[in-house]
Amino acid sequence: MKRILIFSTLIVAAFVALTLRTDWGQRRLFREIRSTSVAWSEPDTAHLAGLSPDEVNNIDIYKTAHLATVNITSTVYQRDFFFEVYPSKDTGSGFFIDNGGRILTNNHVIADASRIEVTLPDQTHYRAQLLDRDPVNDLALLKIEPRHAEPFLRLGDSDAVQVGQKVLAIGNPFGLDGTLTTGIISSLGRDLQTESGRRLEGLIQTDAAINPGNSGGPLLDSRGNVIAINTAIYGPSGNIGIGFAMPINRAKLMLTDYRAGRTYRPPFLGVTTVYIAGSYSEVLNLPSEGGLLVQDVRPGSAAEAAGIRGGQRTVILGNYEISIGGDLIVAIDGQPVTRQDDLSRAMARKRAGDVMTLTVYRGGRKVPVKVTLGAQSEEAF
């Protein structure tokens, strides 16, 4: 019995000595349990993962473009019910187009403003001067006197844009300065009726998020060039994926005339049209290549003076009600009409007083009609 007790004691002592020496006991067991108790897991390459080429492109454009995008606050003095004057403020965006402090924005951002203030990305504030405006295309040119040269954006070619290409919008939605959103061009040649009743024609539609405060900010292509000015959204409250931007080529004539010391006079033709082609054209006994079917001709307009004819009766074509019997514009200055915004794009290259040649299909034949473009009336402003 003694031998068994001694033998058992030796075995226990050897086991304890062994576990203490090899650190195989409870301390190691507890350490392994603690090491597997983590708050989250992550991929092994998390710290090595790179950015996609598209992400790098977005980041590079933003680093440059947001420094050239500004916040604009306009102050309008109004009278309340008791005829007391009080200031009402509105905000929007704009962007530098040169290093001399000139800023392009929407006209509705600064319309009727008694005071215009520009805030730069570094939070410096400047009083702005209105240099020129084109209310027909909702454009305005401002100027500040910066303490040093500011970054500016280059103007691209909005006639070359295509549905599906990537775009980036930068602005100050809801006062959140320097906000970037991305998307694509969803459609071209959209027309929009504004709250004031004016019609904006040939707009670019995008699904890049545009919200109140984005108005006047740049819509950029993947090279960082401005192809349009964010102008409006579809819906009263905020972005639902349908935004509209004024093509940048509309601003170029105004800028050219300003730098030449001339007052820009937007041209006016005086017609409303609808684009038809293919089977719809054939149903109406018109050329299958289609064109712009004139719906109405405004009395006293350049179109009326040139003899352009509007629709004579109304029919239902597909799901649309249109006027037929008027001229079909098949070419503008010798260029075939292939889409709805061809007329508004051609008008963007003209001034009041310029001559435009419209080739119309009338009475079974094509007839060239020369139109001397009029100027927009003050009512449009």
Q: Is residue 125 among the annotated active site residues?
A: no
Calculate the CA dihedral of residues 104, 105, 111, 117 and round it to 10 degrees.
-80
Say how far residue 89 (Cα) sits from the centre of its chain.
Answer: 23
Per the residue annotation, which of 108, 134, 177, 186 is the catalytic one?
108
The single residue of 74, 93, 186, 215 carrying the catalytic annotation is 215
Closest CA to 145 of 100, 113, 93: 100
Q: What residues pair up with 205 in beta bridges, in sequence order? A: 187, 244
Under a CB-based contact definition with an 8 Å cutoff, are residues 275 and 292 in contact?
yes
Active-site choice (138, 177, 221, 327):
138
Q: Is 215 a catalytic residue?
A: yes
Whether residue 221 contacts residue 165, with contact meaning beta carbons closer than 8 Å, is answered with: yes
Active-site residue numbers?
A: 108, 138, 215
